[in-house]
Amino acid sequence: MTRLGIVFFWLLHWLPLALLAPFGRALGWLAYYLAVPRRRIALTNLRLCFPELDEAARRALAHRHFQVLGRSLFERGLLWWSSAARLRRIVRIDGLERLAKLYEAREPVILLVPHFVGLDAGATRLAMEINAVSVYARQKRNPTLDRLLHHGRSRFGDQLLLTRQDGIRGTVKAMREGRPFYYLPDMDYGRKDAIFVPFFGVEAATITGLPRLARLGKAKVLPCVTRMLPGSAGYVLEIGGPWADYPTADVEADTRRMNAWLEGVVRTMPEQYYWVHRRFKTRPEGQARLY
């Protein structure tokens, strides 16, 4: 990102959400036609995950997905520079009391956060309530963007940001010290630490970090989903209750449970899941590439 880009997003954050939202959707509408490789990835994912839909319905869903992606991009400046008071109005939290009880008791917690377009809005809002630990991918090719992302995720409270190269020891230590872990385990990270379990009926390489970290940290798992609301209504962060009987002694069953839960949530707002990611990039031995 260039300095001109920073200025552009800084200026955008002064606009009311009633203007930002439609401008962002318009950007996404345009990106659907211009970002051809990403559109192909999204359509491939939707064909695999929603075989019951015809081609026209899948294209319409992909189009809506790009529009909410565009909106989330245009609203990123709000997360980087808007006041806490404004962000509290834009992003509300449902179920905070479930987390607060465990947080006050300093019990280890993993917040299971799927890749919906509003996840950064949820993270920024939650940082006003708790001091958490999270892992982020450094943007080595774009130091300016890396600094902005780090700023956006650490501007409230005392957040601990680790890189993937830091390993799991720091994460487990932070959880045991009372920092909830804002965890995003639902992407294709390759074969390392992954097993193949179904996601929408398709074998997907899925990391087994959730049950393993829950066991190592003796942590409770709370689902944490951020929904982008229609129009310019903002977002709602939904925190569910702790999963019962998790983890078990069966890592594969625990990982299947995670994917099954995620599939159920995706079906409630399919356009908001991150379909432009090559979720099925890694294939079982002998299977053909899908992208």
**Which tens digit of pLDDT belongs to each residue from 169-222?**
899 999 999 999 999 999 999 999 999 999 999 999 999 999 999 999 999 999
Q: Give the pLDDT score at 165.
A: 72
Q: What is the dihedral of CA 186, 211, 146, 25, to 10 degrees?
A: 30
- Choose the weakest-confidence range: 72-76, 120-124, 166-170, 275-279: 166-170
Q: What is the DSSP letter of 273?
A: B
What's the rounded mean pLDDT across residues 20-42?
A: 96
Measured CA to CA, the distance from residue 185 to residue 55 in angstroms comes to 29
Q: Going by C-beta distance under 8 Å and a sequence separation of 6 or more, which residues neighbour residue 113?
A: 119, 122, 123, 182, 183, 184, 224, 225, 226
Q: Give the pLDDT score at 153.
A: 83
Q: Tell me the two tokens of residue 201.
A: 């009926």
Measured CA to CA, the distance from residue 133 to residue 227 in angstroms comes to 22
Measured CA to CA, the distance from residue 114 to residue 183 in angstroms comes to 8
At 1, is the pLDDT very low, low, confident or very high (cuts 50, 70, 90)? low
Burial of 288 (0-12, 13-18, 19+ CB in 10 A): exposed
Q: For residue range 233-281, list pLDDT tens digits in order.
A: 999 999 999 999 999 999 999 999 999 999 999 999 999 999 999 999 9
Pairing of strands 194-199, 202-207: antiparallel
